[in-house]
Structure 1
């Protein structure tokens, strides 16, 4: 595969790989990142040696900010091809089924598609002080498209899933740990050493056993793939509606997808620009 442009791939050993997201200015998820990750997954599967991949970020402030909302051509394609599964949906579904362990090491902001990515990995560890996790989409008059309505209930329960998706607020690493959003939160200075130690340990074990564990846990826990397509379709349908376009325009005018206070405090900013229809007098 060609050298990735949205992250670096480090092969610590034939069995332990690391993907480090590095897509300035705020580590957006986009079509290129999706394709490049898919290529890494194919290469890892074809190696028949990889036991674990860790996903972390080169940017201590942004893990994965959210999906690139400026991709107008992507919206046009989705609307013109309603039967297709969106590539990011396919990627997350594939991520949950990879025949080896996957670990998110979260430092910085992981909202929207960033949260959805870490939810699709097997294990999640967070910096207690520096992780910021959430699903802000309701503030943009859209459903979260990458499957949190399906993945979160099994982790945090029904009530807390509604709190996360209805509220559209951030939580820090400590709160995410208490909810079950992540496995554990560590003091920031201890996160990397713990993740490396666990990944190294996993990478020393028998590959077929790791594959069997993944298979049987997936049999017990995974929901039907069709649920994820429906959620992504609902997200892109929302992007085509006036309510979402109204909020998005104001957010882009105010610094969305730039290294800005808006991106740092996005759940607070979205409340400033809520759409009101002609029915209620706006």
Structure 2
């Protein structure tokens, strides 16, 4: 698989997608968004991929925002189309994948970079990471889901302040806010991600997909999360993973989930 702006690696059930534009601090442009869409789709369709990592190359940046030079001269209609296409192609797409996505934040996660990290199912960060949505300092607002996902994660008041001030927070404050789940050193970041992925991969991938769908439903307008949970709970009873999991429990052995 050949990409110009990202790298794609698979090992032992984990697919790692790395944004690789170091001269631009891994900033997102339209070509990179398209490549990310393709990479995430490939990983989602790969039965051997149990967990997906999204990270940035180098030690400075996860993604330091969008490539502003691409849209500085856009009209109102073009701006709306940019946000709509980006959300559909990448950010909402990632959020609704059935394979767990962990954002491994290894430096600056600003603007579209933080929005990408927030679209992942959860986030871990290195202690040098800094996060923020600085769009209002450019006369625009977050357009890839930031005004919606940030309040869901940190609360309305904190999200309002972060967006209005265009400020950055460090990894320790992001942990305190609940924006990230764990903080560790740069050297131990990938090791921690792999440790968490190892715990996830011991469990039923089918049940995890149902859990993701149920949790997401609770944040979707017009969706009833409780009803989705009931439906997904019932579906689990018809899976080979359920039969294996319950049999293993009753037989006092470790399960070997077929992923079906």
Give me the TM-score of the superposition, normalised by structure 1: 0.72
1:43-100, CA deviations, whole angstroms, 9 ceiling, x for partnerless residues? 1232234221011222211110111111149836x72596786332111001100011
- Report the counterpart of residue 12 of structure 1 in structure 2: 11
Q: Distance in 2 between matches of 1:11 and 1:5?
A: 18
1:223: how far off? 4.6
Would the aligned equivalents of 2:126 and 2:183 in 1 still touch at CA under 8 Å? yes
- Report the counterpart of residue 111 of structure 1 in structure 2: 110
Q: Distance in 2 between matches of 1:105 and 1:37?
A: 15
Query: Do the aligned partners of residues 131 and 84 (structure 1) sit closer, same or farther apart at CA in structure 2, a change above 3 Å counting?
Result: closer
- Report the counterpart of residue 262 of structure 1 in structure 2: none
After the TM superposition, which residues 189-208 of structure 1 pair with which residues of structure 2 at under 5 Å, given as runs? 189-208=187-206
Query: Do the aligned partners of residues 45 and 189 (structure 1) sit closer, same or farther apart at CA in structure 2, a change above 3 Å counting?
Result: closer
208, 213, 216: which one aligns with 2:214: 216
1:97-147, CA deviations, whole angstroms, 9 ceiling, x for partnerless residues? 00110001111111000010001001101112x101001111111111111
161, 164, 168: which one aligns with 2:162: 164
Would the aligned equivalents of 1:150 and 1:223 in 2 still touch at CA under 8 Å? no
Would the aligned equivalents of 1:51 and 1:210 in 2 still touch at CA under 8 Å? no
Q: Distance in 2 between matches of 1:93 and 1:111?
A: 18
Q: Between Structure 1 and Structure 2, how many residues are aligned?
A: 221
Would the aligned equivalents of 2:7 and 2:19 in 1 still touch at CA under 8 Å? yes
Aligned-CA RMSD value: 2.3
- Report the counterpart of residue 77 of structure 2 in structure 1: 79
Would the aligned equivalents of 1:138 and 1:168 in 2 still touch at CA under 8 Å? yes
Q: Which moved more, 1:214-223 or 1:20-29?
A: 214-223
Query: Do the aligned partners of residues 50 and 74 (structure 1) sit closer, same or farther apart at CA in structure 2, a change above 3 Å counting?
Result: farther
Stretches of structure 2 that go unaligned for 5 or more consecutive residues are 224-260
1:220: how far off? 1.7
1:194-243, CA deviations, whole angstroms, 9 ceiling, x for partnerless residues? 11111133234322112111111111234579xxxxxxxxxxxxxxxxxx
1:192: how far off? 2.0
- Report the counterpart of residue 97 of structure 2 in structure 1: 98
Q: Distance in 1 between matches of 2:120 and 2:135?
A: 21
SS at match of 1:216: helix
- Report the counterpart of residue 155 of structure 1 in structure 2: 153
After the TM superposition, which residues 31-46 of structure 1 pair with which residues of structure 2 at under 5 Å, given as runs? 31-46=30-45
Would the aligned equivalents of 1:124 and 1:183 in 2 still touch at CA under 8 Å? yes
Q: Distance in 1 between matches of 2:30 and 2:81?
A: 18
Query: Do the aligned partners of residues 94 and 59 (structure 1) sit closer, same or farther apart at CA in structure 2, a change above 3 Å counting?
Result: same
SS at match of 2:163: helix
- Report the counterpart of residue 30 of structure 1 in structure 2: 29
1:37: how far off? 1.1
Would the aligned equivalents of 2:87 and 2:144 in 1 still touch at CA under 8 Å? yes
Q: Distance in 2 between matches of 1:156 and 1:67?
A: 22
Stretches of structure 1 that go unaligned for 5 or more consecutive residues are 226-282
Query: Do the aligned partners of residues 109 and 127 (structure 1) sit closer, same or farther apart at CA in structure 2, a change above 3 Å counting?
Result: same
